[in-house]
Amino acid sequence: MFASPLLDAPLIAGPLPTTISVVGAFGAGYLLLRRDRAWWTRRLWVALAVGVGLAGLAELFVVVVRPFPDMLPLRMLTWIAVAGAGAALAWARRDEVRWRRVAALVALVAVIATCAVKANAFYGYRPTLATALGIPAHNEIDFATLTRTEPLVVAPPGVPLARIWHSPQGMPHTGRISHVDIPGRRSHFPSRAAWLYLPPAYLGTRRAQLPVLVLVPGQPGGPEDWLLAGKLADVVDTFAAAHDGLAPVVVIPDATGSPFGNPLCVDSRLGAAETYLADDVPEWVAAHLQVAPGPLAIGGFSFGGTCALQLAVRRPDVYPTFVDISGQSEPSLGDRAQTVGDAFGGDEAAFDRVDPLDELRHTRFPRSAGILAVGRDDPDFRPQDEQVTTALRAAGMAVALDEPPGGHSWSMASDELGRVLPWIAARTGLLAPAAPGAS
């Protein structure tokens, strides 16, 4: 449970990151300054070279190992270089008196903390100190303790659920999250535990038959990223508060199998991720949750956005409603040659069969609809999403392209989820129908 105002303090912007940055600046000043000719003519330059070299090694590691498809942006490389140079400067002071060595160590910690805060702010990865420390949330419950409720409140065909729903007395004001295992019974996919968000209307003495939104996180990372970095519970709680406790049940499965795994959301030599997401997850939902039967909605950010697009194109029977936030135009391990080689043994035709752009050239999707969103300051993903939007419309999908402020960050993804929830709710029967992108 989040225990104090300090733990709940914002880590992206505000007094806490500002304080850390100021202390880090003083720490950097202490590490830089020394009354020693050799320091200024040799050691300082060596330390700077160490920092630049460390940044170069980090970029080389990403290029060679490909733990994720994207290269490190210049801002991230800069903070890696600063941390490396700070460590080298602190090491260079090892010949000083003890109190100065201790001061150098404290200064180094402040510099590294500042670099971490700046990197976190760039990606919007951990919004509070509590999430950065991995402290359990106050709204987590044991899913096994929830009992089935009969009968459910079910809307007649063609009638939005919001029109007939009245919240029961004593219904919680906010939703709850829970950790669950969704096994790969068909796919044998080695998934980690998933997370659920259960809205207030699922938790009262009367239970509404709610739709389901499957959300896929980015890569690297895991399902918890939508809760921590994406602030999912806060976003959906806000929507539920405006609609008498109604909101989609959200399922966040593991689509990668490990923090740096990338099975591309397809069935390939890297694993049967498509079968897991399109068969195993919906089957688990139908068996364990009291929710609306039939098709689900899917969304995701970055890698998860690409996943959402792929499954909307490959399995429109399961996912006719999708939201692609800053996804790529095709599944990728970094480049086409490496993707085809590693995932399909060099078989270009096998890759083409799972490439959404290729599928869109040959198939029509009159019953599907989606929203693509990409930050207007995202030069890498915006052209891809514009290309995909054109292809989707040509294939008969009702789609909208949203370009909110920001870059490729979790804070942008979180804000976008809040914007598209009314449209998802309308598509899935909670609210009256709305056009793609309407709120």
What are the tens digits of pLDDT across the range 48-94?
A: 999 999 999 998 888 777 777 677 888 889 999 999 999 999 998 88
Q: CA-CA distance, 204 to 355, in Å (whole number)?
A: 43
Q: What is the pLDDT of residue 334?
A: 82
Name the pLDDT band for 2 (thresholds 50, 70, 90).
very low
Query: Do residues 176 and 57 share a domain?
Result: no
Task: Give the total residue count for the chain.
Answer: 439
Among the listed residues 319, 305, 236, 326, the one whose alpha carbon sits nearest the alpha carbon of residue 277: 319
Name the pLDDT band for 435 (thresholds 50, 70, 90).
low
Q: Which tokens sit at 409?
A: 């960050």
Tell how strand 194-198 and strand 176-180 pair up. Answer: antiparallel
Domain range enclosing 369: 149-427
Query: Do residues 124 and 34 share a domain?
Result: yes
Query: Do residues 395 and 320 share a domain?
Result: yes
Mean pLDDT of the chain: 90
Is 439 inside any structural domain? Answer: no
- Does 438 have pLDDT greater than 70? no
Query: Do residues 243 and 341 share a domain?
Result: yes
Q: For residue 40, give the 3-state DSSP assignment.
A: helix
Q: What is the pLDDT of residue 437?
A: 55
AA identity, residue 204: G
CATH of the domain at 329: 3.40.50.1820
Under 8 Å between Cβ of 103 and 57: no
Q: What is the pLDDT of residue 250?
A: 98
Name the pLDDT band for 436 (thresholds 50, 70, 90).
low
Among the listed residues 257, 182, 253, 263, the one whose alpha carbon sits nearest the alpha carbon of residue 224: 253
Per-residue pLDDT tens for 126-173?
777 777 776 667 788 999 999 888 889 999 998 999 999 999 999 999
Q: CA-CA distance, 268 to 19, in Å (whole number)?
A: 48
- Does 19 have pLDDT greater than 60? yes
pLDDT (mean) for 5-20: 80
Give residues with Cβ within 8 angstroms of 223, minimum separation 6: 192, 193, 194, 195, 217, 252, 253, 254
User: Which residues make beta-bridge pairs with 180?
Assistant: 194
Burial grade of 100 (CB within 10 A; 0-12, 13-18, 19 or more)? middle
Is 414 inside any structural domain? Answer: yes
Q: CA-CA distance, 408 to 358, in Å (whole number)?
A: 26
Among the listed residues 107, 124, 103, the one whose alpha carbon sits nearest the alpha carbon of residue 17: 124
Which of residues 80, 101, 131 is at a domain's end? 131
Query: Do residues 154 and 223 share a domain?
Result: yes
- Does 123 have pLDDT greater than 90? no
- Does 348 have pLDDT greater than 80? yes
Q: Which tokens sit at 359?
A: 């599928």
**pTM here?**
0.83
pLDDT (mean) for 401-413: 91
- Does 316 have pLDDT greater than 80? yes
- Does 356 have pLDDT greater than 70? yes
Q: Please tell me the total count of domains within the chain.
A: 2
Query: Do residues 322 and 410 share a domain?
Result: yes
